Structure 1
Amino acid sequence: MNWKEIATLEEWDEVLSNSSTRGQVILKHSTTCPVSANALHEFEDYLKDSPNPDMDYTLVKVIESRPVSNKIAEDLNVKHESPQIIYLKEKSKYWAASHWSVTKAHMKAVLD
Protein backbone atom coordinates (compact mmCIF):
# COMPACT_ATOMS: atom_id res chain seq x y z
CA MET A 1 0.00 0.00 0.00
CA ASN A 2 1.52 3.34 -1.05
CA TRP A 3 -1.00 5.54 0.75
CA LYS A 4 -1.89 6.33 4.31
CA GLU A 5 -5.20 7.17 5.88
CA ILE A 6 -5.53 10.23 8.08
CA ALA A 7 -8.27 10.80 10.65
CA THR A 8 -7.14 13.75 12.81
CA LEU A 9 -6.75 17.48 12.27
CA GLU A 10 -3.10 17.18 13.36
CA GLU A 11 -2.46 14.65 10.59
CA TRP A 12 -4.13 16.98 8.08
CA ASP A 13 -1.95 19.89 9.27
CA GLU A 14 1.11 17.70 8.65
CA VAL A 15 -0.06 16.82 5.11
CA LEU A 16 -0.73 20.50 4.40
CA SER A 17 2.68 21.47 5.77
CA ASN A 18 4.43 18.72 3.76
CA SER A 19 2.92 20.15 0.57
CA SER A 20 5.53 22.92 0.79
CA THR A 21 8.21 20.41 -0.20
CA ARG A 22 6.36 17.45 -1.81
CA GLY A 23 3.22 17.06 -3.86
CA GLN A 24 0.30 15.69 -1.82
CA VAL A 25 -2.60 13.75 -3.32
CA ILE A 26 -5.69 13.40 -1.15
CA LEU A 27 -8.62 11.11 -1.91
CA LYS A 28 -11.79 11.97 0.00
CA HIS A 29 -13.77 8.73 0.14
CA SER A 30 -17.27 7.86 1.34
CA THR A 31 -17.53 4.30 2.63
CA THR A 32 -21.28 4.24 1.84
CA CYS A 33 -21.23 5.43 -1.78
CA PRO A 34 -20.85 3.15 -4.83
CA VAL A 35 -19.36 6.00 -6.93
CA SER A 36 -16.78 6.51 -4.19
CA ALA A 37 -16.03 2.76 -4.10
CA ASN A 38 -15.28 2.99 -7.83
CA ALA A 39 -13.02 6.02 -7.27
CA LEU A 40 -11.12 4.15 -4.53
CA HIS A 41 -10.61 1.24 -6.94
CA GLU A 42 -9.26 3.64 -9.62
CA PHE A 43 -6.95 5.27 -7.02
CA GLU A 44 -5.59 1.87 -5.94
CA ASP A 45 -5.12 0.84 -9.60
CA TYR A 46 -3.18 4.05 -10.25
CA LEU A 47 -0.97 3.39 -7.20
CA LYS A 48 -0.21 -0.19 -8.34
CA ASP A 49 1.30 1.16 -11.59
CA SER A 50 4.34 2.99 -10.21
CA PRO A 51 2.89 6.29 -9.05
CA ASN A 52 4.95 9.47 -9.02
CA PRO A 53 7.59 8.85 -6.30
CA ASP A 54 7.82 12.58 -5.52
CA MET A 55 4.32 12.64 -4.03
CA ASP A 56 2.56 11.38 -0.94
CA TYR A 57 -0.88 9.76 -1.21
CA THR A 58 -3.50 10.13 1.50
CA LEU A 59 -7.01 8.78 2.07
CA VAL A 60 -9.67 10.56 4.14
CA LYS A 61 -12.93 8.77 4.92
CA VAL A 62 -15.43 11.62 4.86
CA ILE A 63 -18.06 10.11 7.15
CA GLU A 64 -15.70 8.68 9.77
CA SER A 65 -13.42 11.75 9.68
CA ARG A 66 -15.90 14.56 9.05
CA PRO A 67 -13.87 17.29 10.87
CA VAL A 68 -10.82 16.50 8.69
CA SER A 69 -12.92 16.48 5.53
CA ASN A 70 -14.48 19.83 6.43
CA LYS A 71 -11.09 21.36 7.31
CA ILE A 72 -9.64 20.29 3.94
CA ALA A 73 -12.51 22.04 2.14
CA GLU A 74 -12.02 25.14 4.31
CA ASP A 75 -8.21 25.30 4.12
CA LEU A 76 -8.09 24.77 0.34
CA ASN A 77 -11.26 26.72 -0.47
CA VAL A 78 -12.61 23.69 -2.34
CA LYS A 79 -16.28 22.74 -2.28
CA HIS A 80 -16.64 19.41 -0.46
CA GLU A 81 -17.50 16.55 -2.78
CA SER A 82 -17.18 12.81 -2.43
CA PRO A 83 -15.45 11.07 -3.94
CA GLN A 84 -12.95 13.82 -4.58
CA ILE A 85 -9.26 13.79 -5.41
CA ILE A 86 -7.13 16.85 -4.71
CA TYR A 87 -3.54 17.47 -5.77
CA LEU A 88 -1.91 19.89 -3.38
CA LYS A 89 1.36 21.80 -3.75
CA GLU A 90 2.72 24.68 -1.71
CA LYS A 91 -0.30 24.61 0.60
CA SER A 92 -2.87 25.18 -2.13
CA LYS A 93 -5.02 23.20 -4.51
CA TYR A 94 -3.34 22.60 -7.85
CA TRP A 95 -5.97 20.25 -9.30
CA ALA A 96 -9.17 18.55 -8.14
CA ALA A 97 -11.68 16.15 -9.63
CA SER A 98 -14.77 14.48 -8.25
CA HIS A 99 -17.31 11.75 -8.80
CA TRP A 100 -16.84 9.81 -12.08
CA SER A 101 -13.86 12.03 -13.04
CA VAL A 102 -11.72 10.24 -10.42
CA THR A 103 -10.14 7.74 -12.82
CA LYS A 104 -6.74 6.12 -13.21
CA ALA A 105 -6.38 7.71 -16.66
CA HIS A 106 -7.18 11.17 -15.30
CA MET A 107 -4.70 10.72 -12.43
CA LYS A 108 -1.94 9.56 -14.81
CA ALA A 109 -2.55 12.55 -17.09
CA VAL A 110 -2.24 15.06 -14.25
CA LEU A 111 0.13 13.46 -11.75
CA ASP A 112 2.76 11.70 -13.89
Structure 2
Amino acid sequence: MNWNPLTDEAQLETIRQESYLHPVMIFKHSTRCSISSTALARIQRSWNEAEAGDMVPYYLDLIAYRTLSGRVASEFGVPHQSPQVLLLSKGECVYDASHFEISFAEISQQLESIEAQ
Protein backbone atom coordinates (compact mmCIF):
# COMPACT_ATOMS: atom_id res chain seq x y z
CA MET A 1 0.00 0.00 0.00
CA ASN A 2 1.17 3.50 -0.73
CA TRP A 3 0.25 6.16 1.80
CA ASN A 4 -0.16 9.74 0.65
CA PRO A 5 1.04 12.11 3.35
CA LEU A 6 -1.52 14.62 4.64
CA THR A 7 0.53 17.56 5.86
CA ASP A 8 -1.27 20.76 4.88
CA GLU A 9 -4.76 22.19 5.43
CA ALA A 10 -4.95 23.15 1.75
CA GLN A 11 -5.00 19.43 0.93
CA LEU A 12 -8.40 19.03 2.62
CA GLU A 13 -10.30 20.71 -0.21
CA THR A 14 -8.34 18.68 -2.76
CA ILE A 15 -9.19 15.50 -0.85
CA ARG A 16 -12.85 16.51 -0.65
CA GLN A 17 -12.94 17.02 -4.43
CA GLU A 18 -10.99 13.80 -5.02
CA SER A 19 -13.66 11.90 -3.07
CA TYR A 20 -16.18 12.70 -5.82
CA LEU A 21 -14.04 10.64 -8.21
CA HIS A 22 -13.22 7.72 -5.90
CA PRO A 23 -13.29 6.90 -2.19
CA VAL A 24 -10.61 8.43 0.01
CA MET A 25 -9.40 7.12 3.35
CA ILE A 26 -7.66 9.24 5.98
CA PHE A 27 -5.78 7.43 8.74
CA LYS A 28 -5.00 9.69 11.71
CA HIS A 29 -2.04 8.20 13.56
CA SER A 30 -0.43 9.08 16.86
CA THR A 31 3.22 8.08 16.71
CA ARG A 32 3.27 8.06 20.53
CA CYS A 33 0.42 5.62 21.03
CA SER A 34 0.76 1.83 21.03
CA ILE A 35 -2.92 1.36 20.16
CA SER A 36 -2.46 3.61 17.14
CA SER A 37 0.62 1.65 16.07
CA THR A 38 -1.34 -1.58 16.40
CA ALA A 39 -4.25 -0.22 14.33
CA LEU A 40 -1.85 0.99 11.64
CA ALA A 41 -0.08 -2.38 11.51
CA ARG A 42 -3.42 -4.23 11.27
CA ILE A 43 -4.52 -2.15 8.29
CA GLN A 44 -1.19 -2.55 6.54
CA ARG A 45 -1.09 -6.33 7.13
CA SER A 46 -4.63 -6.91 5.87
CA TRP A 47 -4.56 -4.39 3.01
CA ASN A 48 -5.85 -5.96 -0.19
CA GLU A 49 -5.32 -3.96 -3.39
CA ALA A 50 -8.21 -5.69 -5.18
CA GLU A 51 -10.64 -4.89 -2.37
CA ALA A 52 -9.28 -1.36 -1.95
CA GLY A 53 -9.95 -0.73 -5.64
CA ASP A 54 -9.38 2.89 -6.52
CA MET A 55 -9.58 4.15 -2.92
CA VAL A 56 -6.74 6.53 -2.11
CA PRO A 57 -5.24 6.29 1.40
CA TYR A 58 -3.90 9.34 3.23
CA TYR A 59 -1.77 9.21 6.37
CA LEU A 60 -1.84 12.01 8.94
CA ASP A 61 0.79 12.10 11.69
CA LEU A 62 -1.32 13.91 14.24
CA ILE A 63 1.60 14.56 16.57
CA ALA A 64 3.47 16.48 13.89
CA TYR A 65 0.28 18.07 12.51
CA ARG A 66 -1.95 18.44 15.57
CA THR A 67 -3.83 21.49 14.24
CA LEU A 68 -4.49 19.74 10.94
CA SER A 69 -5.91 16.75 12.79
CA GLY A 70 -8.43 19.01 14.51
CA ARG A 71 -9.27 20.59 11.18
CA VAL A 72 -9.99 17.16 9.66
CA ALA A 73 -12.44 16.47 12.49
CA SER A 74 -14.29 19.76 12.04
CA GLU A 75 -14.16 19.73 8.24
CA PHE A 76 -15.76 16.29 7.99
CA GLY A 77 -18.02 16.51 11.06
CA VAL A 78 -16.55 13.74 13.18
CA PRO A 79 -15.26 13.86 16.75
CA HIS A 80 -11.48 13.80 17.01
CA GLN A 81 -10.10 10.37 17.89
CA SER A 82 -6.66 8.83 17.83
CA PRO A 83 -6.14 6.56 16.05
CA GLN A 84 -8.97 7.16 13.63
CA VAL A 85 -9.89 6.22 10.09
CA LEU A 86 -12.30 8.24 7.95
CA LEU A 87 -13.75 7.08 4.66
CA LEU A 88 -14.85 9.87 2.36
CA SER A 89 -17.18 9.71 -0.62
CA LYS A 90 -18.85 12.52 -2.55
CA GLY A 91 -17.32 15.15 -0.30
CA GLU A 92 -18.54 13.69 2.99
CA CYS A 93 -17.33 11.32 5.67
CA VAL A 94 -19.46 8.20 5.20
CA TYR A 95 -17.67 6.07 7.79
CA ASP A 96 -15.30 6.57 10.69
CA ALA A 97 -13.82 4.25 13.27
CA SER A 98 -11.29 4.54 16.04
CA HIS A 99 -9.00 2.44 18.16
CA PHE A 100 -9.58 -1.32 17.87
CA GLU A 101 -12.69 -0.81 15.71
CA ILE A 102 -10.35 0.04 12.83
CA SER A 103 -10.11 -2.88 10.40
CA PHE A 104 -9.56 -3.26 6.69
CA ALA A 105 -12.39 -5.82 6.55
CA GLU A 106 -14.86 -3.17 7.75
CA ILE A 107 -13.42 -0.57 5.39
CA SER A 108 -13.80 -3.06 2.55
CA GLN A 109 -17.47 -3.60 3.45
CA GLN A 110 -18.01 0.15 3.44
CA LEU A 111 -16.38 0.37 0.00
CA GLU A 112 -18.84 -2.24 -1.28
CA SER A 113 -21.72 -0.11 0.03
CA ILE A 114 -20.34 2.95 -1.73
CA GLU A 115 -20.00 1.07 -5.01
CA ALA A 116 -23.57 -0.23 -4.71
CA GLN A 117 -24.95 3.33 -4.59
The aligned counterpart of 1:30 is: 30
Q: What's the RMSD between the two structures over aligned residues? A: 1.5
SS of residue matched to 1:57: strand
For 1:7, give the aligned amino acid: T
Seen in structure 2, the aligned counterparts of structure 1 residues 46 and 62 have a Cα distance that, compared at 3 Å, is: same
TM-score scaled by length of structure 2:
0.85
Pair 1:9-2:4 in alignment: no
Q: Which runs of 5+ in 1 are unaligned?
A: none
| Partner residue, 2:110 | 110
Q: Percent identity?
A: 27
Give the corresponding residue for 1:46: 46
- The aligned runs of 1:47-62 (5 Å cut-off) are 47=47, 49-50=48-49, 51-62=51-62
Structure 2, unaligned stretches of length 5 or more?
A: 113-117
Matches within 5 A, 1:83-102: 83-102=83-102
Q: Counterpart in 1 of 2:115?
A: none
4+ residue stretches of structure 1 with deviation over 3 A? none
**Size of the alignment, in residue pairs?**
111
Contact 1:46–1:107 (Cα < 8 Å) also in 2? no
TM-score, normalised on structure 1? 0.89
